[in-house]
Structure 1
Amino acid sequence: MYVVHLLVVALLASATALYSAPLNAQEFALEQKPSVTVPAFSEQELLPGGKATASRTAKRTFIHPAGNIPTIEQLDFWDGFSFFRDPWVASPAITSDRDGLGPLFNARSCKACHNDGGRGRLNRSGEYASPALLFRLLKNDGVGADKHYGGQLQPNAIRLSHHKLTKPVIGEGKVRVEYQIIKGEYPDGSTYSLRKPSYHLEQLGYGKLEPNTVLSPRYAPAIYGMGLIDAISEQDLLAQQDFDDLNGDGIKTQYNMVKNAQTGQLQIGRFGFKGLHATLEQQVAGAFVNDIGITNPIFPEEACTDVQLMCRTAASVDPKGTLDIPKKLHDLTVYMNKTLAVPKARDLTSERAQQGRTLFYQLRCDSCHTPTYKTRPDYPIAALQAQQIYPYSDFALHDMGKELADEGIENLASGAQWRTPPLWGIGLQKRVQGFEAYLHDGRARTLEEAILWHGGEAHEIKKHFMNLSAKQRSALIYFLQQI
């Protein structure tokens, strides 16, 4: 009996080791690195948005108000949501609150890109890019915008009849997306495939792009929890900056410094895939004017270049003669974006998720995906003040390698640098929306693929991931699906 008992104990220990065995130096070539301390699990991790976490788990939508905002303020949330959800139309129209579309635009509504508060569906290989995938136009020297097309490609145009319009307004062009499948193999012999996109400009309406203009694809992100990100102290973020890698961990944490369009001051660019906007209010305003053609209190001018004469003419004959969305309605839309709740964590206390959590820290994924912050106690919205949150991001720029680079420069961000995206709620995308697509251009069809595309500063961490056993890799991904 004693021998049988020892055999059972040994088998249990062997099975458990598939998940819980610590990463050793021989397996993962970490012998030159100090040992990693895995922080103790906190029950607070189950509510990644603190008290502002959604009161119920999303099933078909991410649209839920923060769990701790008063009932009376929820009315403002749903009023703001109507301007997020409903399509805009060209002016003049019967509905004066929702006209002003264009003259040039990518989509007719916020929802078209951020479906149910998450991500929009991408088109198949060989088709034109869907509204959820837009294209920034960057210069490879970082100077100015394209003189023909400005800073963003807008494929659609309104139809407007007016005696001053000698020709119709035409869209700027379309982008055909094609995917190449790349096969790969883990050291243990398991195989994987990656989807690599290529982009082809067609039907350009205003001549060629300038020679130093490059396309930068941007796949509209999920928007829940944005207010809590806005509420993180700038000092807490700057404390993480290490662009000279003084700590020697191979990670160069750098923040994009951008101009606040309202104050003129330089601030951390915490929103956008390269940190283009300093505040959530500015991010919403930028999306209104660039994506839908809706002028607003922060960006009151239409995005027509000097050579787009009919666009400029159409903008000048708009019978409204004022902002397409006035401050009161714009503020409601911003409020809805600020108080859109983060989903609850799911099966995070299970043994499998906890083993994945351990691996997350042992592989040093937290070097860029900073797990937790406490929001400012003086943030303007009381429900978002002093909340312990778990977004899993440093919101900083990192070199992700040449495979993900776009060759353009956006403020301080090079072509290879991308802002670390938050990971909270990421495992709900398939459940809520019926599909998966990750990274800045949606090329990754699974979280596993997203990890395998990591390069640059994350190259060594990716190598360690690849050297895990299949069950360890599965445990790590399972943890990501639960946070």
Structure 2
Amino acid sequence: MATLGALAGPAATEPAHSTEPAPLQPVSATWAALSDVHLDIIPRTEEERARVQAVTAPPTDFSAPWPFEANPAGAQTVRARPTADAFSQPAANLSFAQELDFRVGNGLFRRVWVSAPSSTIASDGLGPLFNARSCQRCHLKDGRGHPPEGPGDSAVSMFLRVSIPATDTEAAADEIAAYIEGTHPTAPDPVYGGQLQDFSLPGIPAEYRLEVSYEEIEVPLSGGEVAHLRAPSYTAADLGYGPLHPQAMLSPRVAPQMIGMGLLEAIPTEDILALADPDDADGDGISGRPQVVWSHAHGRPMLGRFGWKAGQPTVLDQTAAAFSGDIGISNPLYPEPWGECTEAQVACRQAIHGDDAEQGGFEIDEQSLALVAFYSRTLAVPARRDVDDPQVLRGRQVFYETGCPACHRPKFVTHRLADDNPASFQLIWPYTDLLLHDMGPGLADNRPEGRADGREWRTPPLWGIGLTPTVSGHSYFLHDGRARSLLEAILWHGGEAQEARDRVVTMPPEDRAALIKFLESL
């Protein structure tokens, strides 16, 4: 099996502090073919390649809205609703049959699972350890999760991942480390597994209770303004199975928003790898690296795209892993009926499970799993707002001048796909490169995942970010929800983004306000 190091293509060439993202560069077709096996691709013609190159070229005029900018998801874009349902709409270009599948998948996404045995066989199998009883409980209204907001508040949309360093022998037995160059050898906690579950069925202890405390940090800004950040500390309290491993590494994660996932999945791997510059060959201080992880759905290494550290390669992989780890529901990719329970958790493994023969021996069968994945792929991205507002236009220019597009890549064109795939050949504006970046010590969780080290995170998409208060009822951002505003999120940027962050601190207050106004329009 070839490693990524043997297949990576040339780095993008962008001058230091450029206001324009570099054009896409060709990379090895071998790796692209290996990674996009989940898609039925119709190869681009040379004419189409030229069209893609032209439409994704860096902008030169900032005085007016750009063509198609108001439709961030291309033909999948829907109007921006001023309600909490803004993220819960089907993509605008679904056929009648596809919309029916979307509706059925939505019902499964919202399904509240119960413990086995139950008269509702199709809904039993919960737990025995779990973080939520449905997908919707974490991704409320398909939006962002949040940390507990004080004593007594549930952490239902947030949990702690856990792992320990692995020896070389253990790593060699791991299918990921065996195939993928640069993977950090880690293993689950021998007692608590790969994530901590804070709920359980009667008679089985929950694994923990999440406690969060904050220290306020004052940040002076230009123009006499002051911002306040909150630095979090996390405690796994009330551990139900004894102490964690002495080398346990914990990482807090809130549930991310769900929109546009099928479009992100359809971005050509070669276009993402063309933006990678792991050795900072162009000297601009930005060193995006591709995550590469094992696909349980396809049985091979693939480019990681989903999750805070890009730990999952496809929407189906992400969906199946969440059913198993978050709800304790067995499925064709994760067949263990006890979900995440380890051998040390005897009562959990011996509990009655819902792996029914009529569902293929699983608690959710292949067809239902596929419908939930389809729903997740086809959640629409709302249209931009205020694209012609003068302050938004100024903020967009500030965004480029500050260097934000170096990581938050504005636009791509998706693969041309067969079988009436609604993600086919769309110009999209997700504002991400889907690469890993060193974000500095302030945001470090000090826990590696795959090829990502303890300071690296995947660039999160920005589309829809301005609708977070409307959909989720809060304005908490970043992987653990520590930022209470978009400005706070920017001020936590460090590492590769330190220079861009510092420019935001020192720029005229009116430009800073315009930048935030632009982000709120996305």
Give the TM-score of the pair, scaled to structure 2: 0.82
| 1:195 Cα offset (Å) | 1.5
Q: Secondary structure at the match of 2:138?
A: coil
| 1:255 Cα offset (Å) | 1.1
Task: Tell me: CA distance 1:56–1:459, structure 2 relative to 1, closer, same or farther (3 Å).
Answer: closer
| 1:332 Cα offset (Å) | 0.9
What is the CA–CA distance in structure 1 between the aligned matches of 2:222 and 2:112, rounded to whole Å?
A: 50
Task: Give the corresponding residue for 1:270.
Answer: 305
Q: Secondary structure at the match of 1:84?
A: helix
What is the CA–CA distance in structure 2 between the aligned matches of 1:389 and 1:446, rounded to whole Å?
A: 25
| 1:408 Cα offset (Å) | 1.0
Task: Give the corresponding residue for 2:402.
Answer: 363
What is the CA–CA distance in structure 2 between the aligned matches of 1:35 and 1:79, rounded to whole Å?
A: 44
Is residue 465 of structure 2 the alignment partner of residue 420 of structure 1? no
What is the CA–CA distance in structure 2 between the aligned matches of 1:34 and 1:229, rounded to whole Å?
A: 25
| 1:433 Cα offset (Å) | 2.7
Supply the AA of the counterpart residue of 2:317.
Answer: Q
Task: Give the corresponding residue for 2:491.
Answer: 452
Is residue 337 of structure 2 the alignment partner of residue 312 of structure 1? no
Give the TM-score of the pair, scaled to structure 1: 0.88
Supply the AA of the counterpart residue of 1:359.
Answer: V
Residues 91 and 318 in structure 1, CA contact (< 8 A), matched pair in contact too: yes
Q: Secondary structure at the match of 2:442?
A: helix
| 1:84 Cα offset (Å) | 1.0
Matches within 5 A, 1:63-78: 63-78=88-103
| Aligned partner (choices 68, 71, 82) of residue 47 of structure 1 | 71
| 1:432 Cα offset (Å) | 2.6
What is the CA–CA distance in structure 1 between the aligned matches of 2:325 and 2:144, rounded to whole Å?
A: 18
Q: Secondary structure at the match of 1:329?
A: helix
Q: Secondary structure at the match of 2:69?
A: helix
| Aligned partner (choices 111, 128, 151) of residue 86 of structure 1 | 111
| 1:250 Cα offset (Å) | 0.1
Task: Tell me: CA distance 1:348–1:173, structure 2 relative to 1, closer, same or farther (3 Å).
Answer: same
Deviations 1:113-137 (A, max 9, x none): 1110102343224556511111110
Residues 280 and 334 in structure 1, CA contact (< 8 A), matched pair in contact too: yes
Residues 38 and 362 in structure 1, CA contact (< 8 A), matched pair in contact too: no
Q: Secondary structure at the match of 1:383?
A: coil
Matches within 5 A, 1:314-353: 314=351, 318=354, 320=356, 322-353=361-392
What is the CA–CA distance in structure 1 between the aligned matches of 2:126 and 2:295, rounded to whole Å?
A: 25
Task: Tell me: CA distance 1:434–1:213, structure 2 relative to 1, closer, same or farther (3 Å).
Answer: same
Matches within 5 A, 1:201-212: 201-212=236-247
Matches within 5 A, 1:190-339: 190-301=225-336, 302-314=339-351, 318=354, 320=356, 322-339=361-378
Q: Secondary structure at the match of 2:68?
A: helix
What is the CA–CA distance in structure 2 between the aligned matches of 1:136 and 1:106, rounded to whole Å?
A: 12
Task: Tell me: CA distance 1:194–1:377, structure 2 relative to 1, closer, same or farther (3 Å).
Answer: same
Supply the AA of the counterpart residue of 2:199.
Answer: N
Is residue 122 of structure 2 the alignment partner of residue 103 of structure 1? no
Q: Secondary structure at the match of 1:76?
A: helix
| 1:382 Cα offset (Å) | 1.8
| Aligned partner (choices 460, 477, 501) of residue 462 of structure 1 | 501
In structure 1, the gaps of 5 or more residues are: 1-30, 160-167
Supply the AA of the counterpart residue of 1:464.
Answer: R
* Bigger Cα Rg: 1
What is the CA–CA distance in structure 1 between the aligned matches of 2:516 and 2:18, rounded to whole Å?
A: 24
Task: Tell me: CA distance 1:384–1:232, structure 2 relative to 1, closer, same or farther (3 Å).
Answer: same
Task: Give the corresponding residue for 2:52.
Answer: none
What is the CA–CA distance in structure 1 between the aligned matches of 2:250 and 2:414, rounded to whole Å?
A: 35
| Aligned partner (choices 156, 164, 176) of residue 139 of structure 1 | 164
| 1:85 Cα offset (Å) | 1.2
Residues 137 and 146 in structure 1, CA contact (< 8 A), matched pair in contact too: yes
| Aligned partner (choices 457, 470, 477) of residue 431 of structure 1 | 470
What is the CA–CA distance in structure 2 between the aligned matches of 1:338 and 1:445, rounded to whole Å?
A: 28
Residues 129 and 176 in structure 1, CA contact (< 8 A), matched pair in contact too: no
What is the CA–CA distance in structure 2 between the aligned matches of 1:50 and 1:72, rounded to whole Å?
A: 20
What is the CA–CA distance in structure 1 between the aligned matches of 2:474 and 2:385, rounded to whole Å?
A: 19
Q: Secondary structure at the match of 2:479?
A: coil
Residues 140 and 407 in structure 1, CA contact (< 8 A), matched pair in contact too: no
Q: Secondary structure at the match of 2:212?
A: strand
| 1:440 Cα offset (Å) | 0.3
| 1:55 Cα offset (Å) | 4.3
Is residue 425 of structure 2 the alignment partner of residue 386 of structure 1? yes
Deviations 1:206-246 (A, max 9, x none): 12111111110011000011111111111111111110001
Matches within 5 A, 1:116-127: 116-126=141-151
Supply the AA of the counterpart residue of 2:465.
Answer: I
Residues 38 and 358 in structure 1, CA contact (< 8 A), matched pair in contact too: no
| 1:200 Cα offset (Å) | 1.1
Q: Secondary structure at the match of 1:421?
A: coil
In structure 2, the gaps of 5 or more residues are: 1-14, 21-57, 167-184
| 1:320 Cα offset (Å) | 2.8
Extract structure 1 runs of 4+ deviating beyond 6 A: none
Task: Tell me: CA distance 1:419–1:281, structure 2 relative to 1, closer, same or farther (3 Å).
Answer: same
Residues 140 and 408 in structure 1, CA contact (< 8 A), matched pair in contact too: no
Matches within 5 A, 1:6-21: none
What is the CA–CA distance in structure 1 between the aligned matches of 2:497 and 2:297, rounded to whole Å?
A: 35
Q: Secondary structure at the match of 1:188?
A: helix
What is the CA–CA distance in structure 2 between the aligned matches of 1:34 and 1:453, rounded to whole Å?
A: 22
What is the CA–CA distance in structure 2 between the aligned matches of 1:379 and 1:331, rounded to whole Å?
A: 18
Q: Percent identity?
A: 40
Supply the AA of the counterpart residue of 1:342.
Answer: V
Residues 127 and 177 in structure 1, CA contact (< 8 A), matched pair in contact too: no
The two structures, once aligned, show a CA RMSD in angstroms of 1.8
What is the CA–CA distance in structure 2 between the aligned matches of 1:444 and 1:158, rounded to whole Å?
A: 33
What is the CA–CA distance in structure 1 between the aligned matches of 2:243 and 2:125, rounded to whole Å?
A: 28
Task: Give the corresponding residue for 1:59.
Answer: 83
